[in-house]
Structure 1
């Protein structure tokens, strides 16, 4: 009787390698063995073994950091599988935000490779309201609207995060509309009143102007349809 995928994983001492697992040549040996053993069910079997060995947190970070290695295709497939499992288990956007340690990134959030993985997960979890769900999650870690707005502005400078940042910026404005924030409220939320002398050079002035224009077009609309 052939040895199980888990048995061979441990025989090859792959359960103790940690974050560099996908750069270890012994992993290829194990992948080949599991593929022969399980055929079309190989990925599911590998995911089960890896999750048991490293847990959700460890595996998630391992997969995020393994996309530049030789076995990057496998890492992407397993990440896709992990996210489907999480959706099925009802893992919230906030839970996965913490699982991927994004709650420790501060103003480097958009530069983290894990951010894109989290974005993809939230999109799967809630396709129709992903932007709003991401914003509400971000607000639990960044309770300052001005800090978030500055992060969105900075992220728009990078081609890899521009589209996401623009969506989140719009979600923030929709959130203000939903909560019936006045022009003056948002001026203060963005802390534009803290440095009036340099107001015209503030990167957030455009955000405020955009909100003023949005409010003038349709004051406090039913944001369910925004």
Structure 2
């Protein structure tokens, strides 16, 4: 994650981004729907809202980001109020991750983020999180389903894995509800802030993956 605390993303929240009405994939980004959410490559302000969605202490208990990647109050609440479609186009600087934001079509709000990224062993992994208002409502299934759709139907990956900290029952249930199944893996993993956690691992495979017209991630392979 990048440090958005000093970035000039706010104060002009009515500026329209080019991705406002984006609903299909093209060379600039990905877009598809799962359940009540539109998942798509974010604008800069949508990405800020997505980072804010995971910056609260309850989320950080499991995510463990570096301190300068966490958006603190009052900027966090401001970011969560971003209107989807606003802000300039965004190019995420991490070449090891493809990120898409979850947009609640009913409430017109950014609701979280899911990614497909290079895991600790170099293979593709998916992961994500929801904003506080969307937790505890069974929506994790849609979030992680979107991760599988991105991996299998957009990035052309036949296999994708996911890790969850032992004890994070909600995350494990959501991964299984999305169709992932427990798999063997390293007994521990290290969070960005250096904390080492015991791990559950999950995996999903498809026989015929597909690559869409959106940006591809050649570094992700199995």
TM-score (norm 1): 0.35
TM-score (norm 2): 0.36
Name the one with the larger helix percent.
Answer: 1
State the structure with bigger RCO (CA 8 A, min sep 6), 1 or 2: 2
Larger-gyration structure (1/2): 1
